[in-house]
Structure 1
Amino acid sequence: MKKETGFNELVRKVRKELFGKGPERIQTSFVDNLAISILYGNLTQTEKFFAQEPNGRQMVKDARTQMIQKVYPIKFQPEFEAYMDNKMLYLFTDINVEQDVAVSVFVFQDKINP
């Protein structure tokens, strides 16, 4: 199994645990010490309902972003570090609610060996 495939499976598992639904498709690229993941089809039916209104879109975006930033380091960082055999320094994430596309950039200490 390619390292990207296993990484995608870990991202999907974590997102499903956090939000009740994992992304439908994930594309990850490793560049130097970065793992850049583009996630498609993230939103739950409830989030899609809320996102029909501008205030709802902002609420979904804020809730998802804040939850990932707060929970990943505490609950999931050890899994990512163990899989990558590399210390994770930072995680940056954003989502375009209207397009249901998210991006996460995982910054590791050392260069990633595929």
Structure 2
Amino acid sequence: MSKKIHEFNDMIRKLRKDLLGKGPERIHSVFVENMAIATLYGNLTPTEKFIAQTPEGREMVHAARTKLIQDVYSKAPPEGMEELIGAKLINLFSDIKVEEDIAVSVFVFDKNIT
């Protein structure tokens, strides 16, 4: 794994841990042209797992997680992310499959990642 990907994953993990009290257990990221695509495994807190035992609870956890992450990144990327990547973050697309505790985030930058 390249040093840049490792540092990128650490930024994602730290932000989510600070924000939600638990970061993902494992992150796999790839850089493709102007995108960083991160697959995050083991995201949910014990409380979220408990809430997600019903269909309504799963929907609530999904909506809260998705909106919270998108809101945080829309205000500002994690400190040092744009410097590390060498490009400005222009969009984040994020979703989580609560039943499988897997999330995907696609970070779109204003130029290709080198």
TM-score when normalising by structure 2? 0.94
Identity of paired residues, percent? 55
> How big is the alpha-carbon RMSD for the aligned residues of Structure 1 and Structure 2?
1.2
The question of whether the paired residues in 2 share the 8 Å contact of 1:77 and 1:88 is answered with no
Q: Deviations over 1:24-78 (max 9, x none)?
A: 0000000000000000000000000000000000000000000011111214355
Residue 62 of structure 2 corresponds to residue 61 of structure 1 = yes
Residue in 1 that maps onto 2:18? 17
The DSSP-based 3-state class of the residue aligned with 1:76 is: coil
Displaced runs of 4+ in structure 1, greater than 4 A?
A: none
Residue in 1 that maps onto 2:96? 95
The question of whether the paired residues in 1 share the 8 Å contact of 2:77 and 2:89 is answered with no
Q: How far off its partner does 1:18 sit? A: 1.1
Distance in 1 separating the partners of 2:37 and 2:92: 10
The DSSP-based 3-state class of the residue aligned with 2:106 is: strand
Q: How far off its partner does 1:80 sit? A: 1.9
TM-score when normalising by structure 1? 0.94
Gaps of at least 5 residues in structure 2 are: none
